[in-house]
Structure 1
């Protein structure tokens, strides 16, 4: 897990949010989606933690989903057997670090540089081109000092990232709701950091669910700051459930703006399925892919 909210969701899932059977993915006769090819589709592993990885790989293949993200090197080896990549890689963060305590704390720089020094070549070998990272919480830091601290640490690892063709991608998260005090909580701050780092191998993960909580204005943000973004996440607001008509974000228009911006990467479904049975979970995932396949 990379966030406390993800850990909480997994506890709920483990408590019975999904009742999974061993039936094959599309055994009920569900037709696979007919995809346009403008967007590459991905899902976040933590949202489907109760589904064994190999079964999840087969579900993805059946639905035209190319990636299972927020996965690490051991999982990449399994996924490769199914032709599935990871649009956003991660690892087990060193003790004392993690989402609330990352690049904006200089005390973490040595251990984070060491961690990414090991992880970046592994990502290259597996064909994984994005690795997630975080700002950390403010903990009293000014916005400017947080920028300077992140810049200093990131610049130490950028030469290796550039050499291996791997992008470190900092996630934008809501400090108003899920992650109080998190510093990289708006795209403007992230864009300034990207300019300060000055490398094409540092970009942002624009989490639409989280940015809806902060300010919305997604289409304008995509048009203005798209060059700094290497990945997008979805999630229904409120509640981080399905991205259908039951929630407040209209994803087709947002994804169209993403496509119009020239973006060629992945969109990662990061919603928690509300269904309790496997066929309904798969049907919901198919629907999410179709909604974003503009």
Structure 2
């Protein structure tokens, strides 16, 4: 399921009913729940937006989870209220399909990122997401150079403010025609930009579908990976025994590289008790 479609569908759920269900089911979400926290855990809010953000933040506090992904500036005051860090900010991008590989979007993107980069820093956050955009018949080498031309105009500002721009990798099954669909293409972009303030968001789910060999990619290219997302393959559901990836080994590989950033859960829940599914995922990744 595509992230943008799921978010639109989930937004249509009745707010009142959801709030009641959340408060009734998860009053003691953190009871007997302890983590080693060798991994810095986070979670993507869109996967749990069946409940209001504030209710979800309360649950994260109960669980001792200190970060959340993919939240924009308008909700940062709410995160501050609950002392939850925004481990991956959004709000500057146009869309997944309209990105830095097409010069016609550069003016808008440069304006957006120029405005939001200082806001990210002022809020005390570090990571800001971006997307390559779709090919639409464009050669990958041309698209890469277009990304370099555009991103190089905002990287100095990111460096000044200590903000890391992170481009997410996607697969071609869920996001056909997306250009940044391989570790090698993304790494090449990082090399061309030559800045520690540009990295890749390595989505394990997407890259298992697209190229596999996840642990080897982590070992070989980890200096270019600034953030990780999880989900089960196939289906983008829970990371339990119903899917093919063994996340404890993947997390250990990440830990072995010396990674100090965040790993965010980004799976679509099928369990009736959705917070129990989230707790299970955190436990499996808590090596």
Find the partner of 2:264 among 263, 268, 272: 268
Give the one of 240, 248, 255 matched to 1:252.
Answer: 248
Q: How many matched pairs?
A: 284
User: 1:56 and 2:56 equivalent?
Assistant: yes
The residue aligned with 1:67 is 67
Report the Cα offset of residue 29 of structure 1: 7.2
Residues 1:31 and 1:228: Cα distance change in structure 2 (over 3 Å)? same
Task: Report which structure shows greater RCO (CA 8 Å, sep ≥6).
Answer: 1
What SS does structure 2 have at the residue aligned with 1:65? coil
Q: Give the alignment's Cα RMSD to 1 decimal.
A: 1.9
Per-residue deviation, residues 6-31 of structure 1 (Å, max 9, x unmatched): 23223554677997414266435762
Provide closer, same or farther for how the CA distance between residues 79 and 194 of structure 1 changes in structure 2, counting only shifts above 3 A. Answer: same
Candidates 90, 98, 105, aligned match of 1:101: 98
1:238 is displaced (CA, Å) by: 1.0
| Structure 1 SS opposite 2:113 | helix
Distance 2:22 2:250 in 1: 35
Equivalent residue for 2:205? 209
Q: Which runs of 5+ in 2 are unaligned?
A: none
Normalization by structure 1: what TM-score?
0.91
1:234 to 219, 230, 235: 230
Structure 1 residue runs of 5 or longer lacking an equivalent are: none
Query: Could you tell me how far apart the structure 1 residues matched to 2:175 and 2:164 are?
Result: 24
Separation in 1, partners of 2:212, 2:259:
20
Structure 2 partner of 1:291:
284
Q: Relative to 1, partners in 2 of residues 1:268 and 1:136: Cα closer, same or farther, differing over 3 Å?
A: same
Scaled by the length of structure 2, the TM-score of the pair is 0.94
Task: List per-residue Cα deviations over 1:48-104 (Å, max 9, x = no partner).
Answer: 1121111111111111211121110111110111110111100164xxx41111100
**Are the aligned partners of 2:29 and 2:275 in contact in 1 as well (CA < 8 Å)?**
no
Instruction: Provide the residue aligned with 2:163 in structure 1.
Output: 166
**Aligned residue number for residue 150 of structure 2:** 153
In 2, the alpha carbon distance for the partners of 1:42 and 1:77 equals 18
Preserved CA contact (<8 Å) 1:32 1:63: no
For 1:28 and 1:76, the matched residues in 2 are separated by: 25
**Partners in 2 of 1:232 and 1:30 — Cα distance?**
24
In the alignment, the residues of structure 2 paired with residue 137 and residue 23 of structure 1 have an alpha-carbon distance, to the nearest angstrom, of 41
Contact 1:68–1:87 under 8 Å retained in 2:
yes
Cα deviation code 1:161-219 (max 9, x no counterpart): 000000000000001x1100111001111000000001110000000010011011011
Alpha-carbon distance, 1:273 to partner = 1.0
**Contact residue 13 and residue 50 of structure 2 kept, 8 A:** no
Q: Residue 189 in 1 paired to residue 182 in 2?
A: no
Work out whether residues 232 and 238 of structure 2, in 8 Å CA contact, stay in contact via their aligned partners in 1.
Answer: yes
Do structure 1's residue 41 and structure 2's residue 38 form an aligned pair?
no
